């Protein structure tokens, strides 16, 4: 009878999670998620949205059992689920467990608060703008990370840096912002209704960054997902990274292509080889376009990987269907899950507007 009431009212004994490779043990109460308990006890557990949409808190369950508050499959691919990955923000413990997280880079700076002002808003396409913000003091960040910005008292929204970091920090940061129908921020931004130039910025955040390695780099972007990849590639070029690189950029039509001059500049100075492949999904058949057509993921082949899938690292940013389809294809081509890194667009209803 006591066990029945414990289950009914959510009371019971806490369980312990062992977090590797930190080799840290955390006590998790029945009412807590794994992530909540880890953060409450000072563990630097990777996370972002905390509502199960971004996959930043993804970790691999190596022993024990958890209960999912929401289906992990909403965010994680079937390959990740098969490999034992869970979302710490949506996991409650049913027993003692052990999980593995990816160690963060040692040079990831701690987030800070910044006061900023909008300096420029530039149209990139009909539904993507570049927003540049000057800050009250320099921000240090790692290429590929993001910041939360708050304008006109609206809820904070998360956007990736579209430029590489500078030594000593950047006093001006740029983001690519895509219009989301019904989005509180983007509707005002695209209609010219932003009433104040003052912006609150919090960052940097995120664990999307270039890992160490000597093998090829494969980048896949969709829409405004080009922003963190531009940051990452500019950083790699400035630091004279010598790894073959291929960039696939999925867009709808020629008018949706942008930042081509920046990509061309990166390619001119990249050694040993750099290939840029734009792919258009809705370009009219009778247009002048001579490039690739279809879904960007349909062009992931052994030829793209140059037969070196085992050593290739993949970096992707874009909508969930693109990310999920790419993970399936890339693992089939021999790229390990641990070598596939992504920043998945979350639902507009949750975080990114």
The single residue listed with the structure tokens 């910025």 is 201
Report the SS3 class of residue 268. Answer: helix
Report the SS3 class of residue 125. Answer: coil
Domain layout of the chain by residue ranges:
2-100, 112-205, 217-344
Question: ∠253-256-260 over CA atoms, to 5°?
Answer: 115
How high is the mean pLDDT of the chain? 90
Contact partners, residue 162, CB within 8 Å, separation at least 6: 130, 174, 175, 176, 226, 227, 228, 230, 231
Q: What does the pLDDT look like over 205-235, one tens digit per residue?
A: 888 999 999 999 999 999 999 999 999 999 9
Enter the DSSP assignment of 250. E
Is 70 exceeded by the pLDDT of residue 307? no
Q: What does the pLDDT look like over 50-91, one tens digit per residue?
A: 788 888 899 999 999 999 999 999 889 999 999 999 999 999
Nearest alpha carbon to residue 112 among 83, 93, 139, 134: 139
Q: What does the pLDDT look like over 242-274, one tens digit per residue?
A: 999 999 999 999 999 999 999 999 999 999 999
| More confident of the two residues 275 and 345 | 275
Q: What does the pLDDT look like over 155-182, one tens digit per residue?
A: 899 999 999 999 999 999 999 999 998 8
pLDDT reported for residue 108: 84
Task: Report the residue count for the chain.
Answer: 353
Mean pLDDT of 190-195: 87
CA dist., res. 115 & res. 130, Å (int): 19
Report the C-alpha dihedral over residues 182, 185, 190, 196, rounded to 10 degrees. Answer: 150
Nearest alpha carbon to residue 91 among 62, 57, 63: 57
Mean pLDDT of 25-34: 96
pLDDT reported for residue 315: 97
CA dist., res. 334 & res. 332, Å (int): 5
Is 60 exceeded by the pLDDT of residue 284? yes
**DSSP for 269-323, written as a single string:** T-BS-EEEEEEESS--TTSS--SEES-GGGG--HHHHTT-GGG-EEEEEE-HHHH
Radius of gyration for the alpha carbons in the chain, expressed in angstroms and rounded:
21
The single residue listed with the structure tokens 């979350």 is 346
343, 316 in Cβ contact below 8 A?
yes
Cis link prior to 21 (omega < 30° from 0)?
A: yes
List residues bridging with 217 in a β-sheet. 245, 313
pLDDT confidence bin for 347, thresholds 50/70/90: very low
Is 60 exceeded by the pLDDT of residue 189? yes
pLDDT confidence bin for 279, thresholds 50/70/90: very high
The pair of three-digit structure tokens given for residue 316, joined into one six-digit string? 């992707």
pLDDT reported for residue 105: 61
CATH for 2-100 is 3.10.20.30
pLDDT reported for residue 106: 57
Q: What does the pLDDT look like over 101-144, one tens digit per residue?
A: 987 765 789 899 999 999 999 999 999 999 999 999 999 999 99
| More confident of the two residues 30 and 4 | 30
Enter the DSSP assignment of 2. H
Q: Which CATH class is domain 112-205?
A: mainly beta
3 state SS for 156-209 = CEEEEECCCCCCCCEEEEEEEEECCCCCHHHHHHHCCCCCCCEEEEEEEECCCC
pLDDT reported for residue 2: 46
156, 351 in Cβ contact below 8 A?
no
| More confident of the two residues 4 and 328 | 328
Is 80 exceeded by the pLDDT of residue 187? yes
122, 130 in Cβ contact below 8 A?
yes
Is 96 buried (19+), middle (13-18) or exposed (0-12) by CB count in 10 A? middle
Is 80 exceeded by the pLDDT of residue 295? yes
Mean pLDDT of 89-97: 96
Is 70 exceeded by the pLDDT of residue 8? no
Cis link prior to 272 (omega < 30° from 0)?
A: yes
Mean pLDDT of 146-158: 91
pLDDT confidence bin for 49, thresholds 50/70/90: confident
pLDDT reported for residue 348: 46
Is 70 exceeded by the pLDDT of residue 305? yes
Q: Is CATH 3.90.700.10 correct for 217-344?
A: no
């Amino acid at each position: 009878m006591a066990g029945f009431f414990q289950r009914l009212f959510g009371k019971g004994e806490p369980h312990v999670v062992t977090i590797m490779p930190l080799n840290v043990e955390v006590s998790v109460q029945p009412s807590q998620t794994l992530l909540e308990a880890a953060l409450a006890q000072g563990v630097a557990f990777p996370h972002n949205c905390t509502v199960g949409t971004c996959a930043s808190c993804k970790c691999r369950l190596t022993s024990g059992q958890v209960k999912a508050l929401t289906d992990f499959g909403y965010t994680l691919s079937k390959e990740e689920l098969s490999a034992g990955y869970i979302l710490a923000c949506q996991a409650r413990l049913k027993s003692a467990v052990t999980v593995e997280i990816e160690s963060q880079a040692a040079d990831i700076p701690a987030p800070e608060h910044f006061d900023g002002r909008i300096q420029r808003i530039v149209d990139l396409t009909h539904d993507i703008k570049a927003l540049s913000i000057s800050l009250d003091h320099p921000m240090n960040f790692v290429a590929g990370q993001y910041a939360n910005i708050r304008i006109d008292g609206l809820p904070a929204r998360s956007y990736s840096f579209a430029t590489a970091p500078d030594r000593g920090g950047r006093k001006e940061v740029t983001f690519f912002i895509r219009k989301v129908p019904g989005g509180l921020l983007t509707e005002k931004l695209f209609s010219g209704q932003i009433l104040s130039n003052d912006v609150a910025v919090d960052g940097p955040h995120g664990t999307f960054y270039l890992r160490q390695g000597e093998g090829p780099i494969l980048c896949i972007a969709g829409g405004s997902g080009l922003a963190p990849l531009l940051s990452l590639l500019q950083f790699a070029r400035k630091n004279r990274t010598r790894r073959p690189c291929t960039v696939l950029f999925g867009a709808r039509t020629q008018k949706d292509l942008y930042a081509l001059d920046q990509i061309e500049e990166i390619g001119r100075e990249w050694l040993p080889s750099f290939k840029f492949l734009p792919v258009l999904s809705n370009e009219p058949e009778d247009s002048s376009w001579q490039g690739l057509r279809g879904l960007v993921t349909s062009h992931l082949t052994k030829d793209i990987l140059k037969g070196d899938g085992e050593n290739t690292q993949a970096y992707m940013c874009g909508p969930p269907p693109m990310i999920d389809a790419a993970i399936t294809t890339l693992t089939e081509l021999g790229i390990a899950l641990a070598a596939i890194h992504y920043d998945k667009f979350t639902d507009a209803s949750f975080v990114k507007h």
